[in-house]
Amino acid sequence: MKKLLSIFAVTVFAFSANAGTLDDVKNRGFLKCGVTTGLAGFAAPDDSGEWAGLDADMCRAVAVAVFGDRSKVEFITTTGKSRFPTLASGEVDMLARNTTWTISRDVNLGFEFVGVNFYDGQGFMIPSSLGVSSATELDGATVCIQTGTTTELNLADFFRLNGISYEALPIETNDEGKENLFAGRCDVYTTDASGLSSTRAAAADPGKWLVLPEIISKEPLGPLVRHGDHQWGDVVRWSLNAMIIAEELGVSSENVDAQKSSNVPEVLRLLGVEGSYGEMLELAPDWAYQIIKQIGNYSESYEANVGPDTPLEIARGLNALWTQGGILYAPPFR
Amino acid sequence: MSDITESRKPPVATTGILGWLRMNLFSNWVNSLISLFVLYILFQFVPWILNWTIFAADFKYNFNGEEIINREMCSRVLDPENGGACWAIIYVRFYQFMYGFYPREEVWRVNLSYIMLAVAVVPLLFDNFPFRKHFLKFTYVFPVIAFFLLNGGLGLESVSTNKWGGLLVTLVLGCTGIALAFPLGIILALGRRSNLPVISMMCTLFIEFIRGVPLITLLFFGMVMLPLFLPEGIDMDGLARVLVAVTLFQSAYMAEVIRGGLQAIPQGQYEAARSIGLSYWQMNLKVVLPQAIRISIPSIVNTSIGLFKDTTLVIIVGLLDLLGIGRGALADTTWLGLAYEVYFFVSLVFFIFTFAMSRYSLYLEKKLKTGINMGAD
C-alpha cells in the first residue's frame, strides 16, 4: 500500500507539479498550506479562529514573502496519514506539519524538505515523586509507549544499550498515554519532547511532572514541498532562513524599521536595501523585511508559541542559534 | 361465563405510585436488589454531576467574578477542590463549534440555511403540518438553495469548504448522507432482488464491497484516490469527495435494511399487485415499498444515527467537524487540558440530535403501528 501510494504520488506529481508553483500561488491570490488538525504550539486555531503556532507562522511567512500580506493563506488541515497524498496531489502548496525529515520521505516519496524549523527528539516524562533524574536510572519501569511508531523502536534500543529493562504498556494515542501516566498506570511516558511538554502543560498540576534531560532520537521537523519545483522550494527555504538570519543579526519586528539604516551589510541585504535578492526569487525586494515586520524573527515566533513563557515551556535547547549553543544555522545571506 | 358481578377496586398495592414501584422496581428480590443498587449509584453520582456541570461550574466568569480568557483563570484550575466545569472554553469558542472558520461577515448565510433546514424538514416529518403540500415544494428546492447559500455563487461571495467546520460540517455530512443514501439504498435493494442477473449481480457486488470495507477506508479512497480517476483539470472539492464516500457507504447499509423490509412482505402482496395489472414500478411504489419501508423504520433510523455519529471519522482525512473543532480547541495552548468540558459538550450536542432522531422514530412507529402483524392490520 505504501509503495502504491508513493507510485501514485510520483504520477500525480509528474502531472501537476511541473508548472511553477510560485506562479500558481500568485495567480490564485493566496497560499494553501497544510498544517495539523491541532497540535499545541505548532498549529491550532485560537479563540477567534486564527491559526497560531510555529508551523502556522511558517505558512504565514511564506504568504508574506509572496504577497506581503500575512492573511493571504488558507490553512488546510491534514492528518499524519493524509498529509503526503495532499501535498503530492497539489492540493496544498507546502506542508508545515510537524513532519520529521527522513531519507525515505525526502527521496522515495518525492518531496523536498527545505529546512528545519524545530529540532525535536524523543524524551521521557515521569512524576517528579519518582525521584529519578536521568533516564538511565529507569531500570524496571513501566513505560507507556505508542505502538507501531519509531518511538517504540528507539525505546527498545535505548534500554538495551544501557543494559536496563522495562515493561511496555502499549497505547494508541497521545491522549491515552496522558491519561495512563496521570492515573499512575505507567511510571514513564515517552514520545517527542514537544509532545511531552504539551502533555505536562495539560496536567492539573504541571509542577508534579518532570521531563528528563535525555533525548534519545533525532526528529528534525521542517516544512516540505514537492520534488522538482526548485524555484518554489527556494522561496519556502529562504522564508525560513530569513527568520533565522534575522534572529542572528538581531533584527526583530520591533527594530526592523530602524535597522533599515544599519551599517551592517548583511542586514541591508536582508532587508532589501542593497542587492537584488528579491528579484532572484521573483519576489518583492522587501520580502524578507515584510516577514520580519509581520511575523517576526525565529526567536519571536518561538517565544510566542512554544518558548519558556508559554504553557509548553520548551527551552531553546537544540533550537538555539549555533552561536548560542544550539544547532540552528542558516546559510549566509549574500 | 356470562356471570355479571359487581366490579371491585383493585388491591392498593397494584395501583398508584406504590403499585408502579412494586410492578417495575421491586417485583421480586433480585429486581429489588438491582433497583436498590442502581438507586444508590444514582444517589452517589447525580448530585456530583449536577454540581460539576452546573452549580460549581464557570460559564463566563470565575468565582472571583473575572471574565475567563484562559485555562489559568478557570475556577477548577485555581481551586481544584471546589471548582466545577469551566464552560468558558465553549463560550469563547462557540462560534467555531457552530460554524468552523466561516467568515463572520458571511455567517448569516449559515444561519439562514439552518432556519431553512428546519422549514424544509419539519413539514416533511409531520403529516398534519398546516399547508404541508406547499412547504414540501420548498423541501425539494432546499438542497439547491442551501448549496448556493453555503458555498457561494449567484452573486454571493464564494466560501471555500476549507473554512467550513464544526456543527456545520457535521450537519452537512449527516443530512446529505442520509438524504441521498435513502433513494440510492432503495434502488440498490430493488436491484439486488431483481430477476435480471446483471443488475442483481452489480448491485450485490456494490453492496458487498462497500459493506466489506470500513468507513475510514472509503474516506481515504474518496480523499486520496478519487481525484486520480477524475479527468485532468477537474478539481473536486475535499468536502464533496468525503460526501461521495459517506453517501456510498450509507447507501449500501440502507439497501440491506430495506431489503430486509422487502423480504418481510408476503409473496401474496406481489402476486395481488401483479394480478390487477400493475407494472413493476407501480407494484413497488404503490404496494410493496410503502409496507417494506414502514416495517424497516427502526432499522433505517438506527443506521442513520450510526452514520450521524460516524461523521466524526472525517477528522482522519483532515476535515474539522464538531469533534475536530473540539480537539483543535484542546490543542490551543490557552486552553490545554480542558478535555472533560469539550468532550462533554460535543457528546451533549450529538446526544440531542440522535435522541431527537430516535424519539421521532418511536413517534412514527406508533403512528404507523409497525409493530402490529401486517396481515391483521
**Are B223 and B233 in the same domain?**
yes
Radius of gyration from C-alpha coordinates of chain A:
21
Interface residues of chain A, partner chain B, Cβ below 8 Å:
5, 8, 11-12, 15, 36-41, 44-47, 49, 52, 74-79, 81-82, 85-86, 89, 91, 175, 198, 201-205, 305, 310-312
Candidates A6, A201, A188, A288; CA nearest to B72 is A201
Residue burial B285-312, b: 16+ Cβ < 10 Å; e: rest:
eebbbebbbbbbbebbbbbbbebbebbb
Given this model, what pLDDT does residue A15 score? 47
In this complex, do B318 and A75 lie within 8 Å of one another by their Cβ atoms? Answer: no
Given this model, what pLDDT does residue A14 score? 45
- Joined together, the cell numbers standing for residue A36 give 495539523
CATH at residue B292: 1.10.3720.10
Residues of chain A found within 8 Å of residue B234, distances taken between Cβ atoms: none
Helix H or strand E segment including A74 = strand A73-77
**Are B83 and B172 in the same domain?**
no
**Are B196 and B296 in the same domain?**
yes
Residues of chain B found within 8 Å of residue A204, distances taken between Cβ atoms: 77, 80, 337
Given this model, what pLDDT does residue A13 score? 46
Q: Is residue B254 part of a domain?
A: yes
Candidates B295, B286, B285, B290; CA nearest to B264 is B295
Q: Is residue B308 part of a domain?
A: yes
Residues B318, A86: contact at Cβ < 8 Å?
yes
> Which whole-number Å values give the CA distances from A156 to A124, A167, A182, B66, B181, in the listed order?
13, 10, 23, 49, 49
Given this model, what pLDDT does residue B373 score? 52
Q: Is residue B125 part of a domain?
A: no
Question: How many angstroms from the chain centroid is the CA of residue B182?
Answer: 14
Q: Is residue B179 part of a domain?
A: yes
Range of the domain at B35: 10-52
N-term to C-term CA, chain A: 45
Given this model, what pLDDT does residue B134 score? 83
| Collapsed DSSP state (helix, strand, coil) of residue B93 | coil
In this complex, do A202 and B320 lie within 8 Å of one another by their Cβ atoms? Answer: no
Given this model, what pLDDT does residue B178 score? 92
- Joined together, the cell numbers standing for residue B247 give 453517501
Selected for mutation to probe chain A from B213, B239, B332 (highest A CB count within 10 Å) is B332
**Shortest alpha-carbon distance between residue A37 and chain B (Å):** 6
Could you give the domains of chain A? 2-119+220-324 (3.40.190.10), 122-217 (3.40.190.10)
Q: Is residue B249 part of a domain?
A: yes
Q: Is residue B190 part of a domain?
A: yes
**Are B285 and B186 in the same domain?**
yes
> Which whole-number Å values give the CA distances from A242 to A245, A309, B350, in the listed order?
5, 24, 47
The distance between the two most distant Cα atoms of chain A, rounded to a whole number of Å, is 61
- Joined together, the cell numbers standing for residue B72 give 489559568
**Are B191 and B311 in the same domain?**
yes
Nearest-angstrom CA–CA distance, B377 and B369? 8
**Are B203 and B243 in the same domain?**
yes
Nearest-angstrom CA–CA distance, A78 and B15? 61
**Are B74 and B35 in the same domain?**
no
**Are B267 and B169 in the same domain?**
yes
In this complex, do A310 and B333 lie within 8 Å of one another by their Cβ atoms? Answer: yes
Residue type, B46: V
Nearest-angstrom CA–CA distance, A246 and B198? 69
- Joined together, the cell numbers standing for residue B192 give 439486488
Given this model, what pLDDT does residue A164 score? 92
Given this model, what pLDDT does residue A85 score? 87
The angle, 0 to 180 degrees and rounded to 10, between the axes of the packed helices A21-28 and A54-67 is 80
pLDDT beneath 70, residues of chain A: 1-19
Given this model, what pLDDT does residue B28 score? 86
Residues of chain B found within 8 Å of residue A312, distances taken between Cβ atoms: 333
Q: Is residue B107 part of a domain?
A: no
The distance between the two most distant Cα atoms of chain B, rounded to a whole number of Å, is 88
Nearest-angstrom CA–CA distance, A103 and A233? 17
**Are B169 and B63 in the same domain?**
no
**Are B224 and B353 in the same domain?**
yes
Nearest-angstrom CA–CA distance, A52 and A68? 18
- Tell me which chain A residue has its CA closest to the CA of residue B318: A78
Given this model, what pLDDT does residue A150 score? 74
Task: Please state the domain count of chain B.
Answer: 3
pLDDT beneath 70, residues of chain B: 1-3, 13, 232-233, 370-377
B361: left (phi over 0), alpha (psi -120 to 50) or beta: alpha
Nearest-angstrom CA–CA distance, A241 and A187? 40
Given this model, what pLDDT does residue B1 score? 52
**Are B193 and B277 in the same domain?**
yes
Nearest-angstrom CA–CA distance, A242 and A300? 13
Residues B338, B71: contact at Cβ < 8 Å?
yes
**Are B291 and B191 in the same domain?**
yes
